[in-house]
Copies of this chain bind each other. A is one copy, B any other.
Amino acid sequence: MFAYNQVRVFAPATIANVGCGFDVMGLALNEPGDEIVATRSVDPGIRITEITGDDGLLPTDPQKNTAGIGILQLWEELGLEGGLDIEIHKKMPMGSGLGSSAASAVGGVAVLNALLASPLSNDKLLPYALEGERVACGTPHADNAAACLYGGFVLVRSSDPVDVVPIQSPGDLCAAVLHPHIEILTEDTRRILRKNIPLSLAVRQWANVGGLVAGLLKSDYDLISRSLPDVVIEPIRGVLIPGFDAIKHNALESGALGCSISGSGPSIFALCKGAEKAESSGKAMQETLNRLELESDLYISPVNQNGPQVLERS
């Protein structure tokens, strides 16, 4: 059943929500991301033998680890025999709003699938990755995991049952992603949201979601730009991120199509037409944060169309 003895997989960071698409849209980046290595072993069972880049924060018990859970469940489901040693190399910031737990969860199921010469489709793999997400986040939000697994832009029409709609996006769509070195708790970012929202705002939001999907599928950059604004969540969450309004203002002034919070933050993304615009928008965003004497990382990436990638196998 196994086609390889060892596989190293890259699983990309993701932007969730993507402006108006709160809880339903996501897109994958070329960088940063996680690397997961799986090596077959004669010792039965799944072991996490090494985790790097996590400052010692992640559990090595596979039953409690975002990457481990999915691998364990998939392993059982397929009735596999023997054992696996897993290394997790976190090469992206955690708690950043860039889908760190989704990258590990997806990387886990992807590396196991790759060991078997990839018999399982994305639709089959996603539920196992979401189980990992559930351990990390409490509720399974599929927007990060689906974008990470399918690559490209995705619409998660439903999380239960999972209904992921790939949305083709124009080839030169590029993201600038600014990760401020501050910590905000996902718990807080959920708690400050209102349980009820005005119908009038909801209508504006779903008009924008429809416009964004149409803009992406028609490669209409103006429509993408007009449709990106999030009128429901961003006005509330934006206050948790120092300098957010100025950063957004400067990104748009630099020619970005739109700018909003990635996932529940604190990372901020700008979508741009072409890498050059993404570079200049990203620079403008980072300089705004520099003036507040806050450190940050900046990533520039086109929309990753591949999802997880096998880096090495033997």
Contact = CB atoms under 8 A, between A and B. Distances in A.
A227 interface: yes
A21 B24 CA distance: 16
A235 interface: no
A203 B23 contact: yes
Contacts of A226: 157-158, 163
B20 A207 contact: no
Contacts of A24: 203, 206-207, 210
A166 to B, nearest CB: 9
A193 interface: yes
A12 B207 CA distance: 24
A101 interface: no
Contact of A199 (B196, B203, B214): B196
Given A196-B197, A226-B157, A21 B167 contact: no
A104 interface: no
Contacts of A156: 207
A300 B139 CA distance: 44
A218 to B, nearest CB: 7
Number of copies: 2
A228 to B, nearest CB: 11
B202 A232 contact: yes
A102 interface: no
A191 interface: no
Given A157-B227, A202-B202, A210 B210 contact: yes
A60 to B, nearest CB: 35
24 contacts: A21-B210, A24-B203, A24-B206, A156-B207, A157-B208, A157-B211, A157-B227, A158-B207, A158-B226, A165-B210, A193-B199, A194-B199, A195-B199, A196-B196, A197-B197, A202-B202, A206-B206, A206-B209, A209-B210, A210-B210, A210-B213, A213-B213, A214-B217, A217-B217
